[in-house]
Structure 1
Amino acid sequence: MRESIFKLVTDERILILIVGIAILWRRVISYDETVSFCESACSGITLIVMGWVLSGYMYSMSRKPTDWPVTRKIYQGITVSLLVLNIYVAIYYGMRWFRLLHEEIYMPMDFVFRDVRYLMLVLCYCAVLWTARYLKGMRDKYRLLIREEPTSHARSMKESVLWVTMHERTLTVIVVAAILWRTAISFDHTITFRESAVSCIILLILGWFLFGYICALSVKVKRKIELTRVIQGIAFGLMAINIYAIFYYGMRWYILALGMGDVSGTYVPLDYLFRNMRYIMLVIFYCTAIVLSKFLEKAYTDYTVPKKAQI
């Protein structure tokens, strides 16, 4: 019964249906450019349920024994990445429901931005659901075969730069730097266009560098079908978050260019605090996704055989 429900929920047609319903839902509630509390609650509860059920499932799978140890690491990496998104969603809707959050872009355009954010989060969660099906196949169908490690060779310049960039200490420095950066530009309670541009460029570099790396990895592992699908699903979810980040800064700069908003980017205190929190959460999400990509790389280099094979 549980297996049948899992296959049904992770079926491509069901996931497409979920995305289609999400698009129609946001189109209907945004038609009059007003979102009531009940409509916001319905949207928020949907995302919260999807996110926390997914993260709970991934965590439970990471605790189960397996013959391919790296799959547990992949489950853990997805769990942490989902946890970051889930916390962001919970904070956003909590502030929205208690009327602590007022304006994010510029009021006439806020509804468009909210629709895009909602749809991108639904797409991301659906991508993770699709990934879960093939990740379970990796875990259940294959086992790691221990063999003698090849003699290590000197890293090329490209490999060395990549290793340093994706090291846990480097990622920790990136997160701390992001916190310090947002703290530094928050002293005068304004965000200039230049400061906004620097923030955006950092996110673009992190997000699209990682997306390109994962896409390149999916090409290398084409002989491992389940792993290829897992990587493609993660890449799709990452792309959805990247589009969300680009859309926010694109709309923000468009409003500033037209002079429709405050050029200095002055916000009420809680709105301003939320923007800092969102930026830091996105940086943390990208850093956790980079760690996850290292586990995917490890899965590619592992020598595995089907469990039924006789060695």
Structure 2
Amino acid sequence: MGMKESSWKGIMDWRILAVIAVAAILGRALMSLDKKIALWESIGSGVLLIILGWFIFSSLYSLSKRETDWIISNKVAQGLAITISTLNVYVLIYYAMRWYRLMTETEVYVPRDFLLRDVRFAVLVLAYCGIIWAMGYLKKMHDNYLLVTEEMPEMRKASTAESMFRIITDERTVIVIIGLVFLWRAIISFDKQIVLWESMCSGMALFILGWVLFGYISSLAVRTTRPSVAKIYQGIAFALFAVNFYVLVYYGMRWYRIIYMAVPEEALVPLDFVLRDIRYFVLAIFFCTSIVLSKYLERASEECEYLIKKGEKEYKE
């Protein structure tokens, strides 16, 4: 086993990932004891997330371009890379705006905003760690297994539910959904303020998308016949759970502020609506790319029982 292979296994070991996650979250908690984050502390947090995120993206992109005897694993890697890139872009935009404000002006804090920032950081760390864990098993299946196509049964006529699934996970459907999201958010943000019913509609749409996806991918982990493939789904489901948890916390706090704060957030942080729109777009695109990814995950689940390890003639995990 080469040094590179050993490094991959070390990084993707769940114990190493657990140490990284705990250390990062504990460090962030210590920074937030005074309920403020200084510039150098924000830079440290941001650089960690940027390195993690783009390491995952580059690894997945590289994996998707490598030859394999299980073609769908390339599609899964490609879909994961696109999905994770949406979070990476958000991290870049968020920290660029945050560092700019910390360097150029005295930042005005919305009440309990430090708590939301800490939750956001923890969620991103956990989501990245979940994807890294899934990536380790995806790499294993990609490199070491081949699909025995001659043993696969002939395609049967799709049921109504399967036909609906194909329509929903089609790239054109997802593009329409993203277009509607952009249109909706542009309309409600025209006056630079989001009222309660607008925020509730936006939040509920993300809740439905996120938790349906989480439930579906979790069900794939239960249905699949191979433990290694199940772990891929578990890692992705964990990342989705983390993002869904952030959405719940964010909108819970957001609705509380709209209802009970005497002064609107827009009056305290005038340009915050821009970041809110970017956040919403990123989350919507993240969930939409996950919808397309689920198509490949479903296909992988169907094919995995016809995989054999290279050099062997029958199934062996």
Q: TM-score, normalised by structure 1?
A: 0.93
> CA RMSD for the aligned pairs?
2.1
Deviation at 1:140, TM superposition (A): 2.1
Output aligned runs, 1:217-228, within 5 Å.
217-221=220-224, 223-228=225-230
The reply to whether residue 41 of structure 1 matches residue 59 of structure 2 is no
Equivalents in 2 of 1:267, 1:182: separation in Å?
21
Deviation at 1:144, TM superposition (A): 1.0
Change (3 A) 1:82 1:138: same
Equivalents in 1 of 2:107, 2:236: separation in Å?
28
- Alpha-carbon contact 2:196-2:259 (below 8 Å) kept: no
Q: Which runs of 5+ in 2 are unaligned?
A: none
Of 225, 230, 233, the residue aligned with 1:231 is: 233
1:288 corresponding residue in structure 2: 289
The superposition leaves residues 58-110 of structure 1 with CA deviations (integer Å, 9 ceiling, x where unpaired) of 11111110010111111101110111110000000000001189999962311
- Alpha-carbon contact 1:58-1:75 (below 8 Å) kept: yes
The superposition leaves residues 17-70 of structure 1 with CA deviations (integer Å, 9 ceiling, x where unpaired) of 111112211111111111110000000000000101111111111111001011
Equivalents in 2 of 1:211, 1:310: separation in Å?
35
Q: Following TM superposition, where does structure 1 have runs of at least 4 consecutive aligned residues deviating by more than 4 angstroms?
A: 100-106, 265-269
- Alpha-carbon contact 2:167-2:173 (below 8 Å) kept: yes
Change (3 A) 1:171 1:214: same
Amino acid at match of 1:152: R
Amino acid at match of 1:155: S
The DSSP-based 3-state class of the residue aligned with 1:107 is: coil
Output aligned runs, 1:3-22, within 5 Å.
3-22=5-24
1:179 corresponding residue in structure 2: 182
1:63 corresponding residue in structure 2: 65
Amino acid at match of 2:185: R
2:28 corresponding residue in structure 1: 26
Deviation at 1:253, TM superposition (A): 1.1
Amino acid at match of 1:270: L
Q: Which moved more, 1:57-66 or 1:252-261?
A: 252-261
1:150 corresponding residue in structure 2: 154
- Alpha-carbon contact 1:124-1:237 (below 8 Å) kept: yes
Query: Per residue, is there more helix in 1 or in 2?
Result: 2
The number of aligned residues is 308
Amino acid at match of 1:273: V
Amino acid at match of 1:120: V
Change (3 A) 1:154 1:61: closer
Change (3 A) 1:253 1:105: farther
Amino acid at match of 1:271: D
Deviation at 1:270, TM superposition (A): 2.8
Deviation at 1:285, TM superposition (A): 0.6
Deviation at 1:167, TM superposition (A): 1.8
Output aligned runs, 1:196-275, within 5 Å.
196-221=199-224, 223-262=225-264, 268-275=269-276
Equivalents in 2 of 1:118, 1:238: separation in Å?
15
Equivalents in 2 of 1:202, 1:28: separation in Å?
34
The reply to whether residue 120 of structure 1 matches residue 120 of structure 2 is no
Change (3 A) 1:103 1:229: farther
- Alpha-carbon contact 2:110-2:268 (below 8 Å) kept: no
- Alpha-carbon contact 1:191-1:266 (below 8 Å) kept: no
Identical residues among aligned pairs (%): 44
Change (3 A) 1:102 1:232: farther
- Alpha-carbon contact 1:106-1:260 (below 8 Å) kept: no
Q: Which runs of 5+ in 1 are unaligned?
A: none
Equivalents in 1 of 2:138, 2:108: separation in Å?
38
Amino acid at match of 2:229: L
Equivalents in 2 of 1:160, 1:87: separation in Å?
33
2:54 corresponding residue in structure 1: 52
Deviation at 1:217, TM superposition (A): 1.1
Amino acid at match of 2:119: V
Equivalents in 1 of 2:117, 2:106: separation in Å?
11
